[in-house]
Amino acid sequence: MRVLLTFLLLAAVEAQYDASRFLWYQAAGTDFNSALPIGNGRLGALVYGSATEKVTLNENSIWSGGFQNRANSKSKAALAGIRNLLQNGEITQAGQSTLSNMAGNPTSPRSYNPLADLNVDFGHASGSIKSYERWLDTYQGNTGVSYLYNNANYTREYIASYPSGILAMRYKSSVAGSLNAKISLSRTNGVVSNTASSNGGLNAITLIVNSGVPFVAKVRVVTTGGSVVASGSSISVTGATMVDIVFDAETSYRYSGVSAYTAEVDRKVASATSAGFDTIRAAAITDNTKLIGRVSLDLGKSSGNSGSQPTNARIANYKNSPNNDVQFATLMFNYGRHLLVASSRDTGDLSLPANLQGLWNQDYSPSWGSKYTININTEMNYWHSETTNLAETTKPLFDLIAVAQKRGQVMAQTMYGCGGFVLHHNTDVWGDAAPVDYGTPYTMWPMGGVWLAFHLMEHYRFTGDVTFLQNTAWPVLLDAAKFYYCYLFMYNGYYVTGPSISPENPFKVPNNYKTAGATEGIDIGPTMDNSLLYELFSSIIEAGSVLKVSTGSDVAQAKSYLAKIRTPQIGSRGQILEWRGEYAEIERGHRHLSPLWGLFPGSQMGPLKNQTLANASKVLLDQRLSGGSGSTGWSRTWIINCYARLFEGNTAWTSVVKFLQVYPLANLWNSNSGPPFQIDGNFGFTSGITELLLQSHDVVHLLPALPTAVPTGSVSGLVARGGFIVDISWSSGKLQTAQIKSRLGNSLSLRVGNGVSFKVNGVNYSGLLPTTAGASYTITL
| Percent of the residues in the chain that have a pLDDT greater than 90, as a whole number | 96
Task: Give 718-746 pLDDT, tens digit per residue.
Answer: 999 999 999 999 999 999 999 999 999 99
Is 70 inside any structural domain?
no
- For residue 8, the model assigns a pLDDT of 40
What radius of gyration, in Å, describes the C-alpha atoms of the chain? Answer: 27
Among residues 335, 325, 373, 328, which one has the least CA distance to residue 353?
373
Same domain flag for 490 and 573: yes
Q: Give the residue-averaged pLDDT of 378-397.
A: 99
Q: How far apart are CA 222 and CA 208, in angstroms?
A: 21
| CATH code, 476 | 1.50.10.10
Neighbours of 573 (CB within 10 A): 11
Same domain flag for 662 and 756: no
Domain count, the chain: 3
Pairing of strands 700-702, 750-752: parallel
Task: Give 424-463 pLDDT, tens digit per residue.
Answer: 999 999 999 999 999 999 999 999 999 999 999 999 999 9
Q: How far apart are CA 206 and CA 674, in angstroms?
A: 37
- Indicate the pLDDT class of residue 1, thresholds 50, 70 and 90: very low
Is 349 inside any structural domain?
yes
Chosen domain end from 677, 702, 727: 702
Same domain flag for 606 and 686: yes
Q: How far apart are CA 695 and CA 245, in angstroms?
A: 45
Is 307 inside any structural domain?
no
On whether the CB atoms of residues 99 and 438 are closer than 8 A, the answer is yes
Same domain flag for 27 and 47: yes
Q: For residue 664, say if its preceding peptide bond is cis, omega within 30 degrees of 0.
A: no
Q: Which domain holds residue 210?
A: 2-63+116-293
- What single string gives the DSSP state of each residue in 287-298? HHHHHHTT-EEE
* Triad 404, 408, 414: Cα angle to 5°: 150
Is 95 inside any structural domain?
yes
Residue 468 has pLDDT above 90, yes or no: yes
Is 33 inside any structural domain?
yes
- Indicate the pLDDT class of residue 13, thresholds 50, 70 and 90: low
- For residue 672, the model assigns a pLDDT of 87
Residue 616 has pLDDT above 80, yes or no: yes
Residue 12 has pLDDT above 60, yes or no: no
Distance from the Cα of residue 680 to its chain's centroid: 5
- For residue 39, the model assigns a pLDDT of 99
- Of the given ranges (5-14, 60-69, 398-407, 578-587), which has the lowest mean pLDDT? 5-14
Q: Is 154 helix (H, G, I), strand (E, B) or coil?
A: strand
Same domain flag for 190 and 209: yes
Compute the residue count for the chain. Answer: 781
- For residue 5, the model assigns a pLDDT of 38
| Percent of the residues in the chain that have a pLDDT greater than 70, as a whole number | 98
The H-assigned helical ranges of 344-393 are 377-381
Cα dihedral 10/14/15/21 (nearest 10): 170
On whether the CB atoms of residues 301 and 326 are closer than 8 A, the answer is yes
Residue 356 has pLDDT above 80, yes or no: yes
Q: How far apart are CA 215 and CA 601, in angstroms?
A: 38
Among residues 451, 447, 420, which one has the least CA distance to residue 435?
447
Q: Is 578 helix (H, G, I), strand (E, B) or coil?
A: coil
Distinct helix (H) and strand (E) counts, the chain: 18, 33
Same domain flag for 409 and 288: no
Q: Give 256's contacts (C-beta < 8 A, 6+ positions apart).
A: none
| CATH code, 152 | 2.70.98.50
Cα dihedral across residues 69, 73, 75, 76: positive or negative: positive
Task: Give 493-505 pLDDT, tens digit per residue.
Answer: 999 999 999 999 9
Among residues 698, 756, 695, 771, which one has the least CA distance to residue 728?
695
Is 323 inside any structural domain?
no
- What single string gives the DSSP state of each residue in 605-643? T-TTT-HHHHHHHHHHHHHHHHTT---SHHHHHHHHHHH
Q: How far apart are CA 705 and CA 709, in angstroms?
A: 11
On whether the CB atoms of residues 667 and 721 are closer than 8 A, the answer is no
Burial class (CB in 10 A: 0-12, 13-18, 19+), 547: middle
Q: How far apart are CA 390 and CA 582, in angstroms?
A: 41
Q: How far apart are CA 381 and CA 383, in angstroms?
A: 6
Q: Give the residue-averaged pLDDT of 564-576.
A: 98
Task: Give 26-48 pLDDT, tens digit per residue.
Answer: 999 999 999 999 999 999 999 99
Same domain flag for 412 and 524: yes
Q: Is 310 helix (H, G, I), strand (E, B) or coil?
A: coil
Q: How far apart are CA 684 and CA 335, in angstroms?
A: 12
Is 131 inside any structural domain?
yes
Q: Give the residue-averaged pLDDT of 100-113.
A: 97
On whether the CB atoms of residues 181 and 163 are closer than 8 A, the answer is no
Exposed e or buried b for every residue in 53-89, given b needs 16+ CB within 10 A?
bbbbbbbbbbbbeeebebbbeebbebbeebbebbeeb
| CATH code, 772 | 2.60.40.1180
Residue 265 has pLDDT above 60, yes or no: yes
Q: How far apart are CA 628 and CA 592, in angstroms?
A: 11
Same domain flag for 265 and 340: no
On whether the CB atoms of residues 94 and 522 are closer than 8 A, the answer is yes
- For residue 673, the model assigns a pLDDT of 80
* Triad 120, 123, 126: Cα angle to 5°: 95
Q: Give the residue-averaged pLDDT of 515-526.
A: 97
Which residue did the predictor score with more confidence, 451 or 552? 451
- For residue 15, the model assigns a pLDDT of 61
Directed axis angle between helix 448-463 and helix 395-411, to 10°? 150
- pTM comes to 0.97
Q: How far apart are CA 158 and CA 137, in angstroms?
A: 11
Same domain flag for 364 and 268: no
**What residues are paired with 245 via a beta bridge?**
169, 221
On whether the CB atoms of residues 534 and 604 are closer than 8 A, the answer is yes
**What residues are paired with 716 via a beta bridge?**
296
Q: For residue 676, say if its preceding peptide bond is cis, omega within 30 degrees of 0.
A: yes
On whether the CB atoms of residues 249 and 265 are closer than 8 A, the answer is yes
Same domain flag for 758 and 635: no
Is 68 inside any structural domain?
no
* Triad 271, 276, 278: Cα angle to 5°: 135
Same domain flag for 82 and 194: no
Task: Give 14-31 pLDDT, tens digit per residue.
Answer: 568 999 999 999 999 999
Q: How far apart are CA 779 and CA 759, in angstroms?
A: 6
Same domain flag for 227 and 338: no
Residue 117 has pLDDT above 90, yes or no: yes
